[in-house]
Amino acid sequence: AWVAKMMADLGICPFTADADKSGMPMGPVYYAVDRSTRMEDVYSAYWKMVVKVEQSDERDLSTTLHIFPNFCMDNIESFENFSNTLTQPLESLGVEELLQLVFFHPEWTFRDGGARSGMGSAANYARRSPWPMINILRTNQVRAAQRGIPTGLVYQQNEKTLRKVGTTQLESMLRKRDWSDIEELKVNRRDMEALRIAQDYKETGTVAEEDRDFVHDSTPAANKVDKSQIEGGDMLKVVLQALEKRLEGGPDGGVQGLSGPETSAAMMASDFVLEHLKEMSG
């Protein structure tokens, strides 16, 4: 019910059609429930699922929701620490080109310092789920989605939609695990820019020229790319700025993460630079 109502009907995930179909291209959603309580058992279950994804054709298994109802249910800090131990080794293990991870938890709170961060923000319910979950996504699908629609526009659209429902009702439905109060509520994807672009992209595989002009939306500056930036070589600057931020480190000396819009902008810029390097070499 949560996937069908929140992710699909409310359009929180632009590329989810219903509880059974999601992704780019659209394919089956695979659900796995594991009742492990110990971290080592969750690690084991997770890596078995990674192997399953790797060995499955995306036409048979597009995206995976790995659900852990008995693990860190009331401890978001422990769950976040655990999540970091899964994301950090993706690159070193060579898995980053295969999959990406998104985490959900009943107490999830964005901590990027933006308007959507903070305990009371309705935007948090885009990542608050009935139980702790790991969403295992295929990297090629994530990159296809990012090329089709700016991440910042999705964040903004989600916050607007969730604010209309309200934090009180969102929290009540989450705790009851009952979304019947908004049973009749379903967004019109043609009326909402982020969802309309995603819908068109799913159907045609291309983004209309007018939708490529980010002047027509209010996407955060980190996600805006126009022709003058490309011609001026700013794509390379975007990549260098992202690397510089990562290498500088955070205030505690640890790795400094990029925000969602910064990550999206860096990936788009990287794809552009790599594509032109290929053209130059071949």
Summarize pLDDT for 249-271 with one digit per residue, the tens. 666 666 666 654 455 556 556 66
Q: How far apart are the C-alpha atoms of 61 and 52, rounded to whole Å?
A: 9
- Averaged pLDDT, 91-96: 82
Lowest mean pLDDT among 75-84, 120-129, 261-270, 273-282: 261-270
pLDDT of amino acid 278: 67
Per-residue pLDDT for 35 more than 80?
Answer: yes
- Which H or E run includes 102? strand 99-104
Q: Which amino acid is at 246?
A: R
Q: What are phi and psi of 30, to 5 degrees?
A: -105, 130
Lowest mean pLDDT among 11-20, 64-73, 79-88, 273-282: 273-282
The fraction of the chain above a pLDDT of 70, given in percent, is 64
The pairing of strands 99-104 and 133-138 is antiparallel
pLDDT of amino acid 178: 96
Quick: pLDDT tens for 154-211.
Answer: 787 888 899 999 999 999 999 999 999 998 888 775 555 555 555 665 555 554 554 4
Q: What are phi and psi of 220, to 5 degrees?
A: -50, 150
Quick: pLDDT tens for 20-33.
Answer: 999 887 899 999 99
Contact 171, 224 (CB under 8 A): no
Contact 255, 249 (CB under 8 A): yes
Query: Considering only CA atoms, which of 52, 66, 56 is closest in space to residue 101?
Result: 66
Per-residue pLDDT for 101 more than 70?
Answer: yes
DSSP assigned state of 112? S
* Tokens standing for residue 212: 């490529």
Lowest mean pLDDT among 61-70, 135-144, 145-154: 145-154
Mean pLDDT over the full length of the chain: 78
- Averaged pLDDT, 225-231: 38
pLDDT of amino acid 212: 43
Q: How confident is the model at residue 11 (pLDDT cuts 50, 70, 90)?
A: confident
* Tokens standing for residue 262: 């910064």
pLDDT of amino acid 175: 95
Contact 85, 170 (CB under 8 A): no
